[in-house]
Structure 1
Amino acid sequence: MFRALLIWLALSAPLLAAPLSRNELEPMIVAPYALGDPVNDHGVWSLSNSGGGEAGYVFETGLLAPLPGFSGQAINILVLIDLEGRFIETRLLDHNEPIFVSGLGEAPLRAFLEQYRGHSIAEPLVVGTPYGAGGAGSDLVFLDGVTKATASVRIAHESILAATLAVAREKMQGVKAGPAPRPDPDHAEHLDWQTALEQRLIGHLSITNAQADAAFAGTKWANDDSFDDPEAAFIDLYVVDLGPPAIAQAVLAPETLAEVQRFTSRAPDDELLLLIEAGRHGLVSDDFVRNTAPDRISAEQDGLPQALRDADILPTLAANTPPAFEDATKMILRMDRRLGFDPTRPWELTLQAVRMHGQFQPEAGAAHFSVTLQTPERFFLRPEAPAALSPFAEALRNRATDLYGLAGLLVALFGALLAQSRLAGLRAFPAVRLMILSAVVLFVGFWGQGQLSVVTILAVLRGLKGGGLEVLLYDPFGLMIWGAAILGFILWGRGFFCGWLCPFGALQEFAHHIGRFLRLPEIEPPRSYGRALLWTGPVALVALLTVAVLAPEHAEAAAEVEPFKTAITMQFDRPWPYVLWAGGWIAVSAVWFKGFCRSLCPLGAAMRLGGLLRIRRWIPRRAQCGSPCQLCRVRCRYDAIARSGEVRYSECFQCLDCVRIHDDPRQCVPLILEEKRMRNAA
């Protein structure tokens, strides 16, 4: 039986996400495009047009930008873009976000993704709605979010932008993102406003009324502005990079300089920009809200947009700045260097001039005026590119606290079970066991999401066959539990995991205690029927493997025979059939002790192999065990002791009840009889 089981396992199909193959991708490509050749080993493919020429790229966000959602897994979206960076299609491939799995359904998420079609990566895409009337004529492109799922939608949006920008920079712009330069705090250089202006450390954009009017010539907005002096300044914009301390000291008053220094100490990756507009245009609309994206200002570098946001600092200028700036519009914006912005390379800041035409429902028209900026390298330090962390190292860093807690729990548990006689002999042993099981349910299960599953076993064995187990490196918490379970196999068999470390098993045990407290009837199937139920687990396991091999598209649905995902991973936040299945087994456990573990559990069926891997018979036995004494066999709630007194380790859950009886002179029948014999002899 087990030999056949191992053959099925070795041939099982993968159940984990992998790059889509050509055969899987081709049906998803919409006409008139066709799938071209693979570009790299990260799932990026070229798109070709009807003539066979290169027309764009197709890729999965889960491979390029695996940003974890609430489920801990990335939202994987297929993105098709043309050579101009315009979205052809965005299609949901895979996700496990709870709000869309069992709450709202996938329809709102798919509807959200449809909004990208036709938009360009060069547009400043924002999830949300414009504030007030500030959106009129703004360059910001607002995408409608999904009510009650704001966070999940933003994760999907950031995944799309991060993956698309990565492809656009490298494949379409020829620019590979390197480490962002940082301002050199030790660079000392005496500067004042005039010196900085002469050295072109300050960007200047000057547009007269006549030039602005010419930008609208020939449009319906040509006569929608009035002015007296054509040569007067419509825009008189100065832009200063405040990142280098030497430049900031030259243009800011001491109190504002101190506020900027406090800001950069809190946000060291932000590059602050001072904007001074001394013309009559201004910088933002009347409906602008501080600490948000400015609606009339945009920036780009290498043809790709850069995110701007108000830093919420009201600047006061240095005494040496021109007196005309006293009444000028001033604001400080911030840009994130981690997103690829490099102030030492040319970039453009654009000011949008908006005119409104008509009295009722006026129509907005815009003209754009740009200034090119570049701060010299001498003001910055350019660090060497840090070595990329491996997925395992990144996961270790992200879950360090959880891993320390789990390591402490496992060390304590191993130590206690290695001294099992002392543990079982404690008067408070039942309370100690319940405390450990509580930690397993709450910390290992609900918090750490460390519930092992037969699906993981299938994936691991498939990885062994394919030559890689990289998937385990993304979950060091689960990997540590697997390691503990394997070590437990060697020492004690399956009992270590099934009896002590399985969150769903612990949940069933608590349900049984509640049943005893409520005085519910305790049901135990006839011994022959109970022995027959032991085969339902292997049958379920083989059936699951059969589905995985013959119909892999249904493997995930077949794996729902395990109630672990519903009860532990999703915490019962699923449609009612799943909740009924998982909750039903917990209710059954209130009257039938750990019924699922002892019957249908396919993971338990696989772990019965642990009884064959143990290195010793760790449960103490006496010659009288089984003949004539049957007390341990009768008291064993798992029916893991044969009539002969031999322990069936493939069915033993290491509850230590029989160890307590064996070591207790008030319970063990051979010890009681020996004591009577000695008293009679005396």
Structure 2
Amino acid sequence: MWRAVLLWLMLATPLLAAPLTRDQLEPMIVAPYALGEPVNDAGVWSLLNSGGGEAGYVFETGPLAPLPGFSGQPINILVLIDLEGTFIDTRLLAHNEPIFVSGLGEAPLRDFLTQYRGHSIHEPLVVGTAYGNSGGSELVYLDGVTKATASVRIAHESILAATLAVAREKLQGISAGPPPRPDPDHSEALDWEGALAEGLIRHLRVTNAEVDTAFAGSIWADDDPEAAEDPDAPFIDLYAIDIGPPALAQALLDADSLADVQRLASLSPDDEPLLLIEAGRQGLVSSEFVRNTAPDLVSAQQDGLPLALRDADLSVSLGEGVPEELSDATVMVLRLDRRLGFDPSREWQLSLIAERQHGMFQPEAGSRDFALTMGLPERFFLRPEAVTQLPPWLSAIQIRMVDLILLGVGLLALTALLLRQSRLAAQRHYTAIRLAVLAVVIGFVGFWGQGQLSIVTPLAVLRGVMQGGGLEVLLYDPFSLLVWVAAILGFVLWGRGLFCGWLCPFGAMQEFAHHLGRRLGLPQWQPPRSLGRALLWTGPAALAVLVLTSFIAPQHTETVAEIEPFKTAITMHFDRPWPYLLWAGGWLAVSMVWFKGFCRSICPLGALMRLGGLLRLRKWIPRRVQCGSPCQLCKVKCNYAAIGTKGEIRYSECFQCLDCVKIHDDPKLCVPLIIAARQRSRAA
């Protein structure tokens, strides 16, 4: 018995996208490249050229940078880079972003990924538009996708984080250990002069004459008359301070600004804030700059790799100790992400870009960089010991811990109720109690938790197990897994009834549709016995087609699986094209006149759940010798037609609605009890 339960657990659990195998990867690598040997167990492989020499690396973003997308699951992208860090190709492998699953389709996302080819990880790549910049800024803009900004930015961050991890360790030999964090307990008295003298505040001053010298010999040499008029005036007068350490922030900011920076640190603990004070002509951003995006005149790099700078969207004021001549300077707070390998305690470079325009119509832009070396002493930071990264399945459990606890408590409470089914069914307001439970299932298990089970899951798991996938990947979606476990354990007590009758969100929606139909006075249809028995075979037939498709033509499995309306109704909240809406809404409309018609006919998951009756250990629905002969009341009242003519319960078709239990235990409803009571009355 327990072997059967274990088998069902294996076949009915979500499959995590483990790193691709050699057989899966090789067809994706096209000439003149070939797949080499695996570099590590995180899905990084060497890339060979036509002569068999090492040409670069190929890897997936999912295992290296499992940043959750808008759907809550990572966007997995295949990345090929050469030994110089130049992108050879970026290709979409898997995602669950709703806007691309249904709505825009995958084409815009795939088109977006083609923009990386030929660009280097050493370039400051940002998602957005150049806002009319004709090329003066060194930022490389990648056009986003309208209506999918969040998903595209997450895809970009995944590519950047994964590629930087490979580039730092494989291309430069720099181990990507945990970055240091500002020590909140480090305190020391600092003032402007002392911090400047020690190098805690870095200063870059570039005169107009020095900028003219940088542009000398180019077409932009004479395009700044103001510089020629006053060559000794500062074009750039920049002070840069890493204010991640609290001691530096307290020394330079007023009380309100300090509170804002501390609030930023609590909301974004992985960001390192950088205070810039610019008192020259240049400024920090162009007139086209948009807040909370990458600054267009400032760039940074460490170890030859770019750092992602972003505006912190804070308006700060300087403290009393800052020199009075800087009171009118431009002040800005940027932030750098330590998760992408940035180490503020090591040397890094901050560059301010000087731009000039040449020509009146469609001017040609040119730029020159003026760099400032940054870095703070170790005493301001805590360097955590290297820790083993949590496996994705354990991380998924931690992320959804609150939901899992609520679901677990709910499942225990539901089990306790159903174990006392006679008392539950005898409640005066039993129908209201059942509908309340089903409403929670629709709202919490379905719409919120996305715990609508699907036949796609056991098919994917079965295929993965047969292909040698590890069992640890079965915990990738812990919320759905817990529902699967409850359903499988429910087989032992009640057969399919626990899930199909109480835990299926779409089944619950059909039951509400049935009650609505009755309220509207719609006629109720029950198929003739012969037709009803025939319709029971449509589910196994659909299941067989899906199984064959998953092995013969797996690329079409998702399309064939659309026979289930669950994705449209629950996962996508009915936000899909009209054919899908017609299919899902049509079955809800059918349920208004034919009780849970989809569940009782074509549902492939229901067909699989029928096998749960084989694992049932007991006949939990009480019967009397009079049931079926002569009494047929339970059979007539059963909306699922799960009671035979002789009164026997067909547990493979029973949804555990408890209507027959209510009749059986009610002396005012059960015909044998009524007759027995009358006989006792006559005898008395």
Tell me the TM-score normalized by structure 2. Answer: 0.91
Q: Indicate the residue corresponding to 1:140 in structure 2.
A: 139
Distance in 2 (CA, whole Å) between partners of 1:409 and 1:91 is: 41
Q: Indicate the residue corresponding to 2:524 in structure 1.
A: 522
CA contact (8 A) 2:15 2:464 kept: no
Distance in 1 (CA, whole Å) between partners of 2:240 and 2:30 is: 45
Partner SS state of residue 651, structure 2: coil
CA contact (8 A) 2:135 2:366 kept: no
Measured at CA, do residues 152 and 184 of structure 1 come closer, stay the same or move farther in structure 2, by a change above 3 Å?
closer
Distance in 2 (CA, whole Å) between partners of 1:610 and 1:254 is: 65
Measured at CA, do residues 125 and 7 of structure 1 come closer, stay the same or move farther in structure 2, by a change above 3 Å?
closer
CA contact (8 A) 2:164 2:340 kept: no
Q: Indicate the residue corresponding to 1:272 in structure 2.
A: 273
Partner SS state of residue 653, structure 2: coil
Q: Indicate the residue corresponding to 1:201 in structure 2.
A: 200
1:273 deviates by 2.8
Partner SS state of residue 650, structure 1: helix
1:282 deviates by 3.7
Q: Give matches, 1:188-227, under 5 Å.
A: 188-226=187-225, 227=228
Distance in 2 (CA, whole Å) between partners of 1:9 and 1:261 is: 47
Q: Indicate the residue corresponding to 2:641 in structure 1.
A: 639
Measured at CA, do residues 244 and 18 of structure 1 come closer, stay the same or move farther in structure 2, by a change above 3 Å?
closer
Q: Indicate the residue corresponding to 2:172 in structure 1.
A: 173
Partner SS state of residue 438, structure 1: helix
Q: Give matches, 1:402-417, under 5 Å.
A: 402-417=403-418
Q: Give matches, 1:58-457, under 5 Å.
A: 58-131=58-131, 137-226=136-225, 227-228=228-229, 230=231, 233-251=234-252, 260-261=261-262, 263-264=264-265, 267-289=268-290, 291-311=292-312, 312-316=314-318, 318-319=320-321, 321=323, 324-325=325-326, 328-457=329-458
Distance in 1 (CA, whole Å) between partners of 2:184 and 2:440 is: 48
Partner SS state of residue 80, structure 1: strand
- Report the more deviating stretch, 430-439 or 571-580: 571-580
Q: Indicate the residue corresponding to 2:498 in structure 1.
A: 496
- Report the more deviating stretch, 232-241 or 607-616: 232-241
CA contact (8 A) 1:504 1:564 kept: yes
Listed one character per residue, the Cα deviations across residues 330-377 of structure 1 (whole Å, up to 9, x for unaligned) are: 444332333322111110011111122222222211111112122111
**Structure 1, unaligned runs of 5 or more:** 1-5
1:422 deviates by 0.8
- Report the more deviating stretch, 503-512 or 185-194: 185-194
Measured at CA, do residues 266 and 655 of structure 1 come closer, stay the same or move farther in structure 2, by a change above 3 Å?
closer
For residue 546 of structure 1, what is the amino acid of its counterpart? L
CA contact (8 A) 1:15 1:458 kept: no
Listed one character per residue, the Cα deviations across residues 99-142 of structure 1 (whole Å, up to 9, x for unaligned) are: 223212222222222222222222222222245x5676122222
CA contact (8 A) 1:8 1:546 kept: no
Measured at CA, do residues 623 and 127 of structure 1 come closer, stay the same or move farther in structure 2, by a change above 3 Å?
same
CA contact (8 A) 1:15 1:555 kept: no
Measured at CA, do residues 252 and 135 of structure 1 come closer, stay the same or move farther in structure 2, by a change above 3 Å?
farther
Tell me the TM-score normalized by structure 1. Answer: 0.91
Listed one character per residue, the Cα deviations across residues 168-225 of structure 1 (whole Å, up to 9, x for unaligned) are: 2222222233223223344344444443333333323343444332222221112223
Q: Give matches, 1:26-37, under 5 Å.
A: 26-37=26-37
CA contact (8 A) 1:11 1:549 kept: no
Distance in 1 (CA, whole Å) between partners of 2:38 and 2:447 is: 40
Distance in 2 (CA, whole Å) between partners of 1:9 and 1:279 is: 67
CA contact (8 A) 1:242 1:272 kept: yes
Measured at CA, do residues 350 and 627 of structure 1 come closer, stay the same or move farther in structure 2, by a change above 3 Å?
same
Partner SS state of residue 102, structure 2: helix
Q: CA RMSD in A?
A: 3.0
Measured at CA, do residues 275 and 426 of structure 1 come closer, stay the same or move farther in structure 2, by a change above 3 Å?
closer
Distance in 2 (CA, whole Å) between partners of 1:562 and 1:320 is: 66
Q: Indicate the residue corresponding to 1:676 in structure 2.
A: 678
Partner SS state of residue 626, structure 1: coil
1:657 deviates by 1.1
Figure out how many residues of one structure are paired with residues of the other and give that number: 676
For residue 476 of structure 2, what is the amino acid of its counterpart? Y
CA contact (8 A) 1:11 1:462 kept: no
CA contact (8 A) 2:192 2:321 kept: no
Q: Indicate the residue corresponding to 2:3 in structure 1.
A: none
Tell me whether 1:547 sits opposite 2:546 in the alignment: no
**What percent identity do the matched residue pairs reach?**
71
CA contact (8 A) 2:257 2:317 kept: yes
CA contact (8 A) 2:11 2:459 kept: no
1:481 deviates by 0.7
Measured at CA, do residues 667 and 177 of structure 1 come closer, stay the same or move farther in structure 2, by a change above 3 Å?
same
For residue 390 of structure 2, what is the amino acid of its counterpart? L
CA contact (8 A) 1:8 1:545 kept: no
Distance in 2 (CA, whole Å) between partners of 1:166 and 1:400 is: 28
- Report the more deviating stretch, 427-436 or 206-215: 206-215
Q: Indicate the residue corresponding to 1:557 in structure 2.
A: 559
CA contact (8 A) 1:134 1:295 kept: no
For residue 186 of structure 2, what is the amino acid of its counterpart? H
Listed one character per residue, the Cα deviations across residues 408-465 of structure 1 (whole Å, up to 9, x for unaligned) are: 3212211111111111111211121111112212221122111112222223444555
Partner SS state of residue 318, structure 2: coil
Partner SS state of residue 667, structure 1: coil
Measured at CA, do residues 630 and 416 of structure 1 come closer, stay the same or move farther in structure 2, by a change above 3 Å?
same
1:591 deviates by 2.0
Distance in 1 (CA, whole Å) between partners of 2:272 and 2:148 is: 31
CA contact (8 A) 2:15 2:461 kept: no
1:253 deviates by 6.0
CA contact (8 A) 2:236 2:279 kept: yes
Q: Indicate the residue corresponding to 1:599 in structure 2.
A: 601
